[in-house]
Amino acid sequence: MAELILHHYDMSPYAEKVRLMFGLKGLPWRSVQIPIVMPKPDLVELTGGYRRTPTLQIGADIYCDTKICARALERLHPDPTLFPVGDDAATWGLCRQGETSFMMVVSVMMGAGDVFDEAFMEDRKKMAPGVDFSRAPLIVPAKLGQLRANLDLIETLLCDGRRFVQGDVPGIADLAWYHPHMMLGAIPQGKKLIDALENVPAWMERVAAIGHGSRRELEAADAVTIARDAEPAPLPEPSAPAVDASDRIELGENVIVLPEEVGSGAVAGELVIDDVHEIAVRRHSERAGELVVHFPREEYLIVRAG
């Protein structure tokens, strides 16, 4: 089985979510440090345009977005599971709610000032044209209130003595709730909010203690070479179309994958997976050869090219 290669930078909260997946599953992996801001030439060579962090590479298969990373890791390394209670629908719902905290935390950090350097701020402004970042301090109190409301959900769950969000065994719901609030705890206003709670601080310590598995560094150029020397994994048998419509896009058509989050970068290729939870395109890279780039269905659009 091909090595797991994570393209990330250490301060990325979403990368922390995947690093903890490696830890929970006890997996070895290779770490490719990518730039925090554009340009990211080696990453984009693999993805075809997607620029966000993290991206998981397994040979010549490239997984964009932590949701599809989780599905891939669960399929390839099912034990121990990311879904310990067996109710996947409820677990994904918990994950979705927890990650609503992410942009709230970003707003608080931007409003707090002196957290992000100028290069980072300029890069994010390009990703969100029309957003007036200078007004961020005005909404800090409101965002802290929203975060307190979100944290109350976890505080309430933990009141019965359970060690993790869904019981005594950690799972992906813990990782999804932990990573934005880990970032919140890095600033005084956020740390004060968390420390005032009875159960959340100890839960965060337990999640952090899961660790990151076994990490070894890898140069970005070497990761591109690994992709070039590999072949994409065999495609699954086609399932029923996600949407049965007369004008639906068929497998084999040339498409563009468009993340709904502005500034994430579009990816063009041949549609090769189109099921309920996953879409993927085959594309060719001059340096990396033939690749299959995978996305979750949620928050990604596919449109015909041209």
Q: Can you give the CATH number for the domain in which 122 is found? A: 1.20.1050.10
The residue from 151, 183, 208 where one domain ends is: 208
What lies within 8 Å, CB to CB, of 135 at 6+ separation is: none
In angstroms, the Cα distances linking 141 to 23, 105, 137, 144, 150 are 35, 12, 8, 5, 14
Number of domains comprising the chain: 2
Q: Can you give the CATH number for the domain in which 40 is found? A: 3.40.30.110
Element (H, E) at 158: helix 140-158
The residue from 208, 240, 262 where one domain ends is: 208
Alpha-carbon distance of 197 to 149, in angstroms, equals 12
Answer whether 58's CB lies under 8 Å from 230's CB. Answer: no
Q: Examine the pLDDT at 124 and tell me if it is beyond 80.
A: no
Alpha-carbon distance of 61 to 57, in angstroms, equals 6
Closest CA to 177 of 192, 168, 166: 166
Q: What is the pLDDT of residue 111?
A: 87
Confidence category of residue 75, pLDDT binned at 50, 70, 90: very high
**274 lies in which domain range?**
4-80+215-304
Query: How many CA atoms lie within 13 Å of 95's alpha carbon, on the beta-carbon side?
Result: 20
**What is the average per-residue pLDDT within 28-53?**
96
**Model pTM?**
0.94
Mean pLDDT estimate for the chain: 94
**What is the average per-residue pLDDT within 263-275?**
95
The residue from 151, 184, 208 where one domain ends is: 208
List, as one string, the DSSP characters of 90-147: HHHHHHHHHHTHHHHHHHHHHHH-SSS-HHHHHHHHHHSTT--GGGGGGGHHHHHHHH
Q: Examine the pLDDT at 249 and tell me if it is beyond 70.
A: yes
Q: Do residue 105 and residue 161 come from a single domain?
A: yes
Q: Examine the pLDDT at 16 and tell me if it is beyond 90.
A: yes
Q: Do residue 224 and residue 282 come from a single domain?
A: yes
